[in-house]
Amino acid sequence: MKTRIQKIIANAGITSRRKAETLITEGRVVVDGRTVTKLGSVADPQINKITVDGKPIIGENKKTYILLNKPRGYITSLHDPQNRPTVIDLIKNINIRVFPVGRLDYDAEGIILLTNDGSFAHKLLHPRFGVSRTYLVKVKGLPDAGTIKPLRTGIHLSDGKTSPAQVSFVDRTKKNSWLKVTVTEGRNRLIKRMFTAVGHPVLKLIRIKLGPFPLGSLKPGEYIMVSPEDIKKYIH
List residues with catalytic annotation. 105
Among candidates 189, 198, 234, 194, which has minimal Cα distance to 76? 189
For 12, 29, 69, 196, 197, the CA distances from 109, given in Å and listed in that order, are: 26, 35, 7, 19, 22
Strands (E) located in 93-201: 99-100, 109-115, 133-140, 156-157, 160-161, 166-172, 176-183
Which stretches of the chain are DSSP H helices? 5-11, 17-25, 118-125, 145-153, 190-197, 228-231
- In the chain, the amino acid numbered 68 is L
134 contacts: CB under 8 Å, gap ≥ 6: 180, 181, 182, 207, 208, 209
Rounded distance between C-alpha atoms, residue 228 and residue 65, angstroms: 7
Rounded distance between C-alpha atoms, residue 144 and residue 27, angstroms: 59
Which stretches of 154-217 are DSSP H helices? 190-197
